[in-house]
Amino acid sequence: MDSFIGIRFKKETAKRFQEFSRTHFKSHTEALETMLEFFFYNEISPHEKLGPTGRTIEASFKKRINAVIAIMRDMEKTQTKPTAAMIASLFQTEAPPKKPLILEKKILREKKDGIPKQEQDGRGEKNFSDNNL
């Protein structure tokens, strides 16, 4: 059986250590050994800061995400919506009535006047083609 030694701690510190070791380890000795191995293995001092904790990292992520959301909302208000509105207005405008082509004018005149096409082409002149001989 291993021998034990008594170490004097402040009462509050001893209670905190006992609660910690009961929740995470089987014995107080195992808890203290694991803590010492952690510091020796990682070659760090208990007085050093290990960097940002999970809470601080989460808070910084939330800040960055909120900033990105704000930027996207601003872009949507100033760029996307006006552009979409302009494009929609371009597609919604009615095209001006197009002018009929020259050929269409002749066909329209025929329909309105009831004049056959041959008479319109010759403008009242006789047609001297081989078919009329």
Domain assignment present for residue 107? The answer is: no
Residues 81 and 62 in one domain: yes
Residues 89 and 67 in one domain: yes
pLDDT digits (tens, 9 = 90+) for 15-60: 999 999 999 999 999 999 999 998 888 888 878 777 777 788 888 8
Residues 54 and 33 in one domain: no
Local confidence band at 62 (pLDDT 50, 70, 90 cut-offs): very high
Domain assignment present for residue 109? The answer is: no
Say whether pLDDT at 90 is over 70.
yes
Domain assignment present for residue 66? The answer is: yes
Average pLDDT over residues 68-81: 89
Q: Bigger pLDDT: 128 or 31?
A: 31
Residues 64 and 83 in one domain: yes
Query: Which domain covers residue 17, as residue numbers?
Result: 6-47
Say whether pLDDT at 105 is over 70.
no
The total domain count for the chain is: 2
Say whether pLDDT at 130 is over 70.
no
Distances from the Cα of 68 to the Cα of 57, 80, 81, angstroms? 16, 16, 18
Residues 88 and 55 in one domain: yes
Average pLDDT over residues 75-88: 84
Domain assignment present for residue 34? The answer is: yes
Residues 42 and 60 in one domain: no
Q: Helices in the chain by DSSP H: which ranges?
A: 11-24, 28-41, 54-75, 81-92, 102-113, 117-122
Domain assignment present for residue 29? The answer is: yes
Query: Does the predicted TM-score (pTM) go above 0.85?
Result: no
